[in-house]
């Protein structure tokens, strides 16, 4: 059954579920109404019988005749009717008196020779002075009887049974049940049809979204979007989410195509150079030891460049899948001095100096921060001509620590500033300085992985300033 249901369309399952729920509620409501009406009718009959029994007891005490003659009196039933139903058609009323053993000693003429059944428990309760009511079978039908003690004024002399047929009550209940059943069937049919209509109307926007998504997939056109929803509800939220997902996918596919193109372009140059040198060596053109050494040095340089590029790409790929940082406290001022000391031999006429305002202890990944700072300083040295200056500054305040690399080189063109942190992006000066364009992308990832960021400010001809912001509880004075 569950497999068959899963194969049904969603609108059919929604309509079926709604109809079954409505049918269950309607069944409970029908049963509740039937039970309430039935109990009300039976209670009304029981109250009438109790009132009749009380009238018979009182009338019997005031009469002077025998019990048999009293029950044979044709006016007994009229006198025994409660005042509330006087003037109406006299209902059938059965009266019977039994002795302590349960043997009927007197019956009313309305019984026509029949005897009302008397349960031993009811008889004992009546002889003990307690009155009870019960439903019993009499002939082909059922009666509601009230069993009460009959007293002569001094002691209980027998058991008084007053009964009334339930034909009218049962007929009323049958009519009520038939009406409720017909009403329930009509309501369920209407609920099924209404559920199908509601489900179809509610799922129409979802079908439009699915159809548009299929068209996008078949056409491989990620620039298309699902039409905006006219309502601000769950369907509207789904439409917005799908459009955001399509925009994200378009961005990722565009970035992937650009990434593949950039990697292919970056690999072509060193591979072409290495192939040229190998062909020269193979042909024996570079027979001199100096020429051979130069070719080998060029190839080694290109191999190192490829190796650095592969390592940078691996790091960025690991960052995209959630590379975990190793956080531990370290002295950030010592890190700055260490980077300056390692890169000073590569300065080539450029002044490289630190500028430390205070000692700072930071909790983070020292190796990754060192790699980011090395990339920034190396980038500044590559873009600063001889005689220029590169300054590495460490600052802190109550909110963050800042690592700043400032140079007085040619600066960055305004049109290049928004793209400097993109992978493989290189402006005109960057092309002249070499590099694969991955260093600044790594700097940005390291800063963001520590909960911070990196920004750049530059004026053409006046140098550039890169600042790594490291907020949080990390910075503290040593």
Of 156, 93, 92, 95, the residue nearest 123 (C-alpha):
156
* 145-165 pLDDT, tens digit each: 999 998 877 788 888 999 999
Examine the pLDDT at 232 and tell me if it is beyond 60.
yes
Same domain, 6 and 151: yes
Of 388, 378, 363, 398, the residue nearest 443 (C-alpha):
378
Question: Residue 110 belongs to a domain with what CATH number?
Answer: 3.30.450.20
Given 141, 173, 205, the domain boundary residue is 173
List the structure tokens of 234: 């769950």
Instruction: Annotate 365-378 with DSSP letters as a single string.
Output: -HHHHHHHHHHHHH
Question: Residue 294 belongs to a domain with what CATH number?
Answer: 1.10.287.130
Percent of the chain clearing pLDDT 70 (strictly above): 77
Q: Are 436 and 378 in contact (CB under 8 A)?
A: no
Same domain, 12 and 131: yes
List the structure tokens of 17: 């579920």
**How far is residue 373's CA from residue 313's CA, in Å, rounded to a whole number?**
18
Number of compact structural domains in the chain: 3
pLDDT of residue 404: 93
Given 304, 320, 336, the domain boundary residue is 320
Q: What is the CA radius of gyration of the chain?
A: 50
Q: What is the pTM of this model?
A: 0.48
Domain contains 458: yes
* 299-345 pLDDT, tens digit each: 777 776 677 667 766 666 666 656 677 888 999 999 999 999 988 88
Same domain, 166 and 248: no
Domain contains 222: no
**How far is residue 230's CA from residue 74's CA, in Å, rounded to a whole number?**
81
**How far is residue 167's CA from residue 169's CA, in Å, rounded to a whole number?**
6
Residue with tokens 């928004």: 418
pLDDT of residue 158: 85
Given 123, 145, 173, the domain boundary residue is 173
**How far is residue 397's CA from residue 168's CA, in Å, rounded to a whole number?**
94
Same domain, 292 and 264: yes
265: left (phi over 0), alpha (psi -120 to 50) or beta: alpha
Same domain, 294 and 417: no
pLDDT of residue 478: 42
Q: Which domain holds residue 298?
A: 234-320
Phi (first) and psi of residue 378, to 5 degrees: -60, -40
Residue with tokens 């509330």: 84
């Amino acid at each position: 059954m569950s497999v068959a249901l899963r194969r049904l369309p969603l609108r059919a399952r929604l309509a079926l579920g709604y109809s079954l729920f409505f049918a269950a509620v309607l069944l409970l409501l029908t049963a509740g109404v039937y039970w309430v009406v039935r109990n009300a009718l039976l209670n009304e009959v029981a109250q009438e019988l109790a009132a009749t029994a009380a009238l018979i007891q009182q009338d019997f005490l005031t009469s002077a005749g025998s019990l048999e003659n009293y029950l044979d009196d044709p006016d007994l039933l009229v006198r025994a009717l409660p005042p509330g139903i006087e003037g109406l058609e006299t209902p059938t009323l059965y009266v019977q008196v039994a002795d302590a053993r349960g043997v009927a000693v007197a019956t009313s003429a309305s019984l026509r020779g029949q005897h009302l059944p008397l349960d031993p428990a009811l008889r004992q309760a009546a002889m003990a002075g307690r009155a009870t009511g019960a439903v019993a079978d009499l002939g082909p039908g059922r009666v509601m009887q009230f069993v009460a003690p009959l007293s002569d004024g001094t002691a209980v002399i027998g058991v008084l049974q007053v009964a009334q047929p339930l034909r009218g009550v049962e007929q009323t209940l049958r009519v009520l049940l038939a009406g409720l059943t017909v009403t329930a069937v009509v309501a369920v049919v209407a609920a099924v049809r209404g559920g199908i209509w509601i489900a179809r109307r509610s799922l129409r926007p979802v079908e439009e979204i699915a159809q548009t998504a299929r068209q996008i997939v078949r056409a491989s056109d990620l620039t298309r979007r699902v039409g905006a929803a006219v309502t601000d509800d769950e369907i509207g939220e789904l439409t917005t989410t799908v459009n955001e997902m399509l925009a994200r996918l378009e961005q990722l596919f565009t970035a992937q195509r650009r990434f593949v193109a950039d990697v292919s372009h970056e690999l072509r140059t060193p591979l072409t150079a290495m192939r040229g040198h190998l062909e020269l060596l193979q042909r024996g053109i570079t027979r001199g030891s100096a020429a051979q050494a130069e070719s080998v040095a060029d190839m080694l340089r290109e191999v190192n460049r490829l190796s650095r590029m592969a390592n940078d790409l691996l790091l960025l790929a690991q960052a995209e899948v959630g590379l975990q940082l190793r956080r531990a406290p370290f002295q950030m001022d010592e890190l700055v001095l260490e980077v300056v000391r390692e890169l000073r031999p590569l300065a080539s006429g450029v002044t490289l100096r630190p500028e430390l305002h205070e000692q700072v202890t930071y909790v983070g990944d020292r190796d990754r921060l060192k790699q980011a700072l090395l990339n920034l300083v190396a980038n500044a040295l590559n873009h600063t001509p001889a005689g220029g200056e590169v300054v590495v500054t460490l600052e802190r305040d109550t909110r963050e620590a800042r690592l700043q690399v400032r140079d007085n080189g040619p600066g960055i063109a305004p049109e290049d500033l928004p793209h400097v942190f993109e992978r493989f992006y290189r402006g005109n000066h960057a092309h002249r300085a070499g590099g694969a364009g991955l260093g600044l992308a790594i700097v940005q990832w390291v800063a963001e992985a520590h909960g911070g960021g990196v920004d750049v400010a530059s004026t053409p001809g006046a140098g550039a300033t890169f600042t790594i912001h490291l907020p949080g509880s990390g910075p503290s004075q040593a």
